């Protein structure tokens, strides 16, 4: 069960806020925190850079950690938002299977550590606990064939560059936290169109006045 910030006890909320601040100011290698609205600490968004020497090298992938209502007694759930071909990622839901989010979880495990482990999972998959059986089987039988397919899909779905924080914040806010379901964006566009229309009208009026003077 996921939660929103208001469902977290004050002491837990303070811990999450502290961890998010540390994640933003001193992130693990290859990990970038993606800022969202301050009232949405129940879901942590991040961006992972494909590690060197892997099929994901040079590509950037979005993911999120969803905190449960009894966090930190229970671990968050991890999801890749970018499609990725990997034994430990569900190809339909993006759900991530890693021991740190299951049997190895402890109440003192940090969000930064979780994200670092997920990135390491791109270097060393665990096909024995795969969520993508076809991918896990291919990894075991022919790493070269697995790497070739993983690279192909990484080029297709991963980004070539890291997106600026303010751009990612706008994208995340628009897609996930806009309570109007996109209406506010339409209203903003409509206002800009009206301003442009008024500017054109004023320009035409000025030209007519100038012609009359002539």
Cite the active site residues. Answer: 97
Instruction: For residue 10, give both structure tokens.
Output: 């004050």
**Cβ atoms of residues 82 and 92 within 8 Å:** no
Backbone angles phi, psi at 61, to 5 degrees: -125, 140
Work out the number of other CB atoms within 10 angstroms of the CB of residue 60. Answer: 19
Strands (E), 72-186: 77-80
| Whole-number Å distance between alpha carbons of 97 and 117 | 11
**Cβ atoms of residues 97 and 60 within 8 Å:** no
Q: Which of 18, 32, 157 is nearest to 89 (CA)?
A: 157
């Amino acid at each position: 069960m996921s939660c929103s910030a208001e469902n977290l006890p004050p002491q837990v909320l303070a811990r999450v806020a502290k961890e998010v601040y540390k994640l933003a100011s001193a992130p693990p290698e290859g990990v970038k925190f993606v800022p969202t609205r301050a009232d949405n600490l129940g879901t942590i968004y991040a961006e992972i850079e494909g590690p060197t020497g892997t099929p994901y090298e040079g590509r950037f992938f979005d993911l999120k950690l969803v905190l449960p209502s009894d966090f930190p007694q229970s671990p968050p759930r991890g999801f890749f938002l970018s499609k990725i071909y990997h034994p430990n990622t569900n190809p339909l839901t993006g759900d991530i299977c890693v021991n740190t989010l299951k049997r190895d979880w402890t109440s003192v495990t940090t969000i930064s550590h979780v994200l670092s482990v997920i990135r390491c999972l791109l270097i060393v998959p665990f096909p024995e606990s795969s969520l993508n059986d076809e991918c896990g089987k291919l990894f075991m039988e022919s790493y070269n064939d697995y790497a070739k397919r993983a690279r192909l899909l990484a080029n297709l779905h991963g980004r070539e560059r890291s997106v600026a924080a303010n751009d990612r914040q706008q994208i995340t806010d628009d897609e996930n936290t806009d309570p109007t379901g996109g209406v506010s964006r339409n209203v903003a566009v409509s206002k800009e169109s009206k301003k442009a229309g008024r500017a054109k009208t004023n320009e035409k009026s000025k030209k007519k006045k100038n012609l009359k003077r002539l």
